[in-house]
Structures are given as structure tokens and as C-alpha cells.
């Protein structure tokens, strides 16, 4: 009898456990959400360039907000704070003026060499900083890339927009400094044309940043090469000399004149120092370079979109 009782209790308990498990499975099944395969996509996929551009446009507020949040951080952790935004270009100009003006005597025959150098050093600095900004950008942003699905071009656009904001103050300081160094002349109204030149220069920078961001993402060694290229550009962009210096060497003269950065610097100097509007040919040349680089750089960057999430 006892054995039968135990068997009966075991059967009841087993039946109860099965019912509990069945109820648990039913509860779990009720929480399941079915998703159609058509709504799933790979994080490593590359959308069409049309959809990619639309997604990028939809995130324009994110790009602007991130750029504004990270801008004007120069000297944030120092005693002088944001005063370094003004001091940095002044110190740089002073050093270059001493080296090229006093030591190397490059200033011979120039009326306002310091003003000439001021515009050259400050505005050339925008290009070198911009070209370098794309180097290693993908790798430094890999945590964000792994966490969110978004067009990676937003990273490049955000950092260039941040530089655009940061560069406004030094650009104004350079112009004011140049004007103060030639008080014998009334400030030229043509200085207003520096505004479109400033805009075009950052369009140019955006194009180069797209290219450097992609190539350094997969070949980090190219960061060193880009640094060398930046140093080389300093000597062929007319930062501290005029083209007249190469009148006896036609080849070097043509190389310097073909350099779009040289054309940018000369255009700014014409507007501020000489009171002249750059020629139509100059505007056309730098515009083709700027917008051409953006289009080529954007497509070049987009083509590797599916690979950026795998960068280590």
C-alpha cells in the first residue's frame, strides 16, 4: 500500500511539474516577438550612395551639435584658458618672423613682410590641421562605430565643422594684425571676399579629410607619410615667400603655382593687403579643386563604408 501511495504521489508531482514547465513555456512563447527577415540588415553593409547621403542629411543636427560641443576647447585645462586661441597664432607668427625675417633675411624687398607672413602662417595652418584631422579618425572612433549604426562620413564632417568654428578667431586675428601692420593704407573693402575664401578652404579640407580618414583606417603607417607631406607643403605653398623668388626656375615656379593651397594664400593676401579681388581664373581654380576633392573624397570614403566597423 505504501509503495502504491508513493507511486501515486510521484505521478501527481511529475504531472504537476510538467504542467508548470508547459505553463512556463507558454509564458515565454507569449513574450516572443516575430521579426520579418526583410527588416533586418547587416551592420557591415554599404547602402547606395543616394540612401547614404539621405541618412547623412537626416543626422545633420547630430553633426552640428557634436561639432559645437567639441569646438573652442583650446587651452581648456590651462591657466590662461581660451586666451591660447589668440596667443597660439601670435607666438607662431613671432617665431617665423624671427627665423625668416631676421635670420634668413627672406623679407628683403617686401614692404609688409610680417603681415604677409601672418596671413600665410595662420591660413596655411588651417590646411595642415585639416589634412591631419582625418588621420586615424576611424580608429579613434571605433567604440562609437561599434555601438551605433550611422553613416561614418558624419564623423569626418563633424570634425571639419568643428575646425571651421575654431578657425574663425585666428582668421580674424590674422586679418586685423595685417591691417595694423600697414597703417599707411586705409583698410581695403575687398577684405569681405575672405569670407567665401574661408568657406572654400574648409570645403577643400573636407575633401582631403575624407581621403586621409579612409587610407589611414586600413594603413595606419600612412599617418607618418601625411605628416611629411604637410611639412613639404609648407615650402611649396608660398607661406613665407613670393613667386618672384623662382623667376629663374620656370619648373619650380609652375609647381608652386599649381599648388591650390598657394592659390588660396595668394587670394587672401590680395584681398587684405593689396585691395584686389582675385581673378576669375583663381576663383575657378580653387573652386574646382575644393568641390572636386569633396565629391571624389566622399565617394572614395563611402566605398569602404562596410569595412569601417571591422577596423581594430
User: Which pLDDT tens digits describe the chain residue by residue (312 residues)?
Assistant: 444 443 444 444 444 455 554 545 555 555 555 556 555 555 556 789 999 999 999 999 989 988 888 877 766 677 777 778 788 888 888 888 888 767 666 766 677 888 899 999 999 999 999 888 888 899 888 888 888 888 999 999 999 999 999 999 999 999 998 998 888 888 899 999 999 999 999 999 999 999 999 999 999 889 999 999 998 998 888 888 877 766 677 888 888 899 999 999 999 999 999 999 999 999 999 999 999 999 999 999 999 998 888 887
Q: Are residues 129 and 30 in the same domain?
A: no
State which residues form the domain around 53: 47-310
> Do 15 and 86 have their domain in common?
no
Residues 6 and 57 in one domain: no
Query: Nearest CA to 270 among 168, 177, 194, 171?
Result: 194
Q: Do 292 and 238 lie in a common domain? A: yes
Does residue 39 belong to any structural domain of this protein?
Answer: no
Q: Is residue 290 part of a domain?
A: yes
- The span from the CA of 151 to the CA of 157, in Å, is 11
Tell me if 111 is assigned to some domain: yes
C-alpha cell at 161: 565643422
Domain match, 24 and 126 both = no
| pLDDT of amino acid 14 | 47
Of residues 180, 188, 202, the one with CA closest to residue 293: 202
Specify whether 27 is located in the same domain as 135: no
Residue 291 CA to residue 202 CA, distance in Å, equals: 10
| 51 and 30 within one domain | no
> Are 121 and 64 part of one and the same domain?
yes
**Is residue 125 located within the same domain as residue 28?**
no
Cell of 108: 628683403
Q: Which residues contact 113 (CB under 8 A, 6 or more apart)?
A: 97, 101, 106, 107
Domain total of the chain: 2
Whether residues 196 and 282 fall in one domain: yes
Please choose, from the candidates 86, 93, 60, the residue with its C-alpha nearest in 3D space to the C-alpha of residue 72. 86
Provide the whole-model pTM: 0.81
Distance (Å) of CA 235 to CA 93, 123, 125, 220, 252: 16, 14, 13, 25, 11
How far apart are the C-alpha atoms of 261 and 257, rounded to whole Å?
9
Rounded Cα distance between 122 and 129, Å, is 11
Q: Under a CB-based contact definition with an 8 Å cutoff, are residues 311 and 218 in contact? A: yes
Sequence-distant (6+) residues with CB within 8 A of 174 are: 89, 118, 119, 121, 122, 123
Q: State how far Cα 286 lies from the chain centre.
A: 19
Same domain, yes or no: 14 and 85: no
Same domain, 147 and 22: no
Amino acid at each position: 500500500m505504501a509503495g502504491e501511495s508513493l507511486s501515486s504521489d510521484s505521478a501527481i508531482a511529475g504531472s504537476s511539474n510538467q504542467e508548470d514547465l508547459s505553463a512556463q513555456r507558454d509564458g515565454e512563447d507569449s513574450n516572443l516577438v516575430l521579426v520579418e527577415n526583410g527588416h533586418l540588415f547587416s551592420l557591415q553593409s554599404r547602402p547606395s550612395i543616394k540612401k547614404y547621403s539621405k541618412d547623412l542629411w537626416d543626422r545633420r543636427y547630430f553633426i552640428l551639435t557634436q561639432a559645437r560641443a567639441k569646438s573652442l576647447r583650446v587651452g581648456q585645462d590651462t591657466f590662461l584658458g581660451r586666451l591660447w586661441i589668440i596667443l597660439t597664432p601670435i607666438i607662431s607668427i613671432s617665431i617665423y618672423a624671427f627665423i625668416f625675417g631676421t635670420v634668413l633675411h627672406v623679407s628683403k624687398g617686401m614692404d609688409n613682410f610680417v603681415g604677409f607672413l601672418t596671413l600665410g602662417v595662420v591660413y596655411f595652418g588651417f590646411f595642415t590641421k585639416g589634412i591631419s584631422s582625418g588621420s586615424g579618425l576611424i580608429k579613434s572612433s571605433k567604440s562609437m562605430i561599434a555601438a551605433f549604426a550611422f553613416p561614418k562620413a558624419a564623423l569626418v564632417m563633424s570634425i571639419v565643422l568643428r575646425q571651421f568654428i575654431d578657425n574663425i578667431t585666428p582668421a580674424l586675428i590674422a586679418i586685423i594684425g595685417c591691417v595694423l601692420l600697414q597703417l599707411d593704407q586705409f583698410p581695403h573693402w575687398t577684405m569681405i571676399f575672405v569670407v567665401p575664401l574661408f568657406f572654400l578652404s574648409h570645403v577643400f579640407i573636407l575633401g582631403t579629410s575624407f581621403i586621409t580618414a579612409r587610407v589611414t583606417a586600413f594603413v595606419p603607417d600612412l599617418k607618418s607619410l601625411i605628416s611629411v607631406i604637410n611639412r613639404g607643403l609648407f615650402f611649396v605653398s608660398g607661406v613665407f615667400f613670393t613667386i618672384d623668388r623662382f623667376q629663374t626656375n620656370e619648373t619650380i615656379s609652375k609647381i608652386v603655382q599649381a599648388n591650390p593651397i598657394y592659390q588660396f594664400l595668394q587670394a587672401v593676401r590680395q584681398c587684405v593687403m593689396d585691395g584686389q579681388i582675385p581673378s576669375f581664373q583663381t576663383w575657378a581654380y580653387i573652386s574646382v579643386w575644393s568641390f572636386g576633392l569633396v565629391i571624389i573624397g566622399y565617394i572614395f570614403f563611402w566605398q569602404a563604408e562596410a569595412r569601417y566597423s571591422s577596423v581594430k
